[in-house]
Chains A and B, each alone.
Chain A
């Protein structure tokens, strides 16, 4: 990884050695997401793992957004 940023690297990489937040994979409708759980049935999107191409244009699926998802779907 080569960083080309105007910010001092010590600021950018501060906390790099710390344990990352635990994530889990959930389905929200037809979209599979990697999220950081923040409450029951609620999580912050880390990345979209599986979806239709046009779903990438949905602003609510932008990484960092809070999403509500259903409990484990037995069909998945």
Chain B
């Protein structure tokens, strides 16, 4: 086996100017493409300037949820948003939601991150954007909901260790107020309407609250418009165009004196 290598090595040493067969690869790529494909350039899908992020299942926070849950981990979503903000090739972010809720801290952290990105963001609720999914759904610059998608607006439930003292309920009320404040400051819904939806009885079988479907979410002012993927992308592209236009420095007439 090794014996067969020696003649090749000797040949290379003796004839250094001899062109190697590998030199064929150094052919002009355009010529090579014409020979191989019949066109000057190989077809490529092209790089998108929009980053699509999905928030599905349970929003997982500080505790790892049991494996039967499909989860979105906030420790992955947050650096993803930082990377999207930092990457100059990404000009807009599309957030697609189909979530049943999850950890309050994690959900609000994601919502705050989306709300504070300097690039255009559009959120699209498909299927469902329930509970802590509501602040995430309203966090974008423009929000859409599919006609059949639903959003359950309901109060935070007590879980874990509960001490039967007024302070426990005050704490819970504070947690809930954080969610309410975020939603009313990032959407067109009024505090009164949102709290009415949240504390409504007779709508849900095992809870108090309301399920709003598609157009109802828009009617109450929680979501901006009913629409699907095409509408969301069109809006995002428009926002990107506007941002590009506004970032171009105005051409002055002559030198500044």
Taking Cβ atoms with an 8 Å cutoff, the residues of A that contact B are 1-9, 12-16, 18, 20-21, 47-48, 53-54, 56-57, 62-63
Contact = CB atoms under 8 A, between A and B. Distances in A.
Nearest first, the 5 closest Cβ-Cβ pairs linking A and B are A5-B101, A15-B66, A6-B130, A4-B132, A6-B152
A53 B66 contact: no
Given A7-B100, A12-B58, A2 B73 contact: no
B179 A4 contact: yes
B87 A3 contact: no
Q: How large is the interface on B (under 10, 10 to 19, 20 to 34, 35 or more residues)?
A: 35 or more
The interface centre, meaning the residue of A2, A48, A53 with most chain B CB atoms within 10 A of its CB, is A2
Nearest to B172: A2
Interface stretch (B3-11, B103-111, B246-254): B103-111
Interface stretch (B24-32, B33-41, B153-161): B153-161
Contacts of A7: 58, 100-101
A15 B64 contact: no
B67 interface: yes
A15 B63 CA distance: 13
Contacts of A6: 100-101, 128, 130-131, 152, 154, 207
Given A3-B159, A13-B66, A63-B73, 7 more contacts: A1-B103, A2-B160, A4-B157, A6-B130, A7-B101, A8-B206, A62-B76
